[in-house]
Chain A
Amino acid sequence: MNSIHDMGGMHGLGAIDTTDDATVFHADWEAHTMALARAMMAGKYFNLDEYRYAMERINPACYLGLSYYQRWLAGTITMLVEKGVITQDEYEAQLDALKRGET
């Protein structure tokens, strides 16, 4: 897929940050996101290649603004809906509940 993820050779993104950052996760949600994705793949709900393709399909303008694990999370949500683990309605209802502070 020719999309924003395939950015090899692209100019204008600034210097590469080569700071040695040994921190694996910068927040709990990042660890939870990784654990969820690994568990879903272990359970064969989706495979790694499908998962990468889900991240590649993130809207290009949105993709550039997301952090590494935000892309993982977006890809996981896409997979969960496409594989029928949850429905789009269930996802949006839960999102609304979170926004209202109900969970």
Chain B
Amino acid sequence: MAAVDLDLVLSLYKTPGAAQLKLDVAPRFNLGDVVVALNINPPGHTRLPRYIRGKKGVVERDHGVFHLPDSRAAGKGDAAQHMYTVCFDAREVWGKEAPANDSLRINLWDDYMTLA
């Protein structure tokens, strides 16, 4: 365990974007790929919300490499993989009552998706 002092705490606030990893990891998806969010129900931590599981979307942006939160929360290591913005049509997510032109963007990791 590291000793916590003022310099250490201040350094955290002065280091923007610290969560992004400078690692050379190949992305599993390309921009424009049509993907389906996996239907997973892990008892542990995940950043894949229930309402998006099984829904189809389009990969819109690749943010680079980040820790997979599911792995890191479980103490299973800092699995490094790409994290993307994926765009879902509102009606794909919420059905025909959703406005036709609405969409929802959500950040998803490689492990959360498969090609449609």
The A38-81 residues at the B interface (CB cut-off 8 A) are 38-45, 47, 49-50, 52-53, 56
Chain B window 32-57, contacts with chain A (Cβ cutoff 8 Å), 1 for yes, 0 for no: 00000000011111100111000000
CB-CB under 8 A from A52, the residues of chain B are 45, 69, 73
Chain A interface, >50% SS class: helix
A residues at B contact (CB < 8 Å): 1-2, 6, 8-9, 35, 38-45, 47, 49-50, 52-53, 56
Interface positions of B from 50 to 80, Cβ below 8 Å from A: 50-51, 67, 69-70, 72-75
Q: Decide if B72 touches A49 in the complex (CB within 8 Å).
A: yes
Q: Is the CB of A53 within 8 A of B73?
A: yes
A40 & B50 in contact (Cβ 8 Å cutoff):
no
Which A-B residue pairs are the 10 nearest by beta carbons? A49-B73, A53-B45, A43-B4, A49-B72, A49-B69, A53-B73, A9-B51, A39-B4, A8-B51, A43-B2
**What separation, in Å, do the CA atoms of A45 and B75 have in the docked complex?**
12
- Is B23 interfacial (CB 8 A cutoff)? no
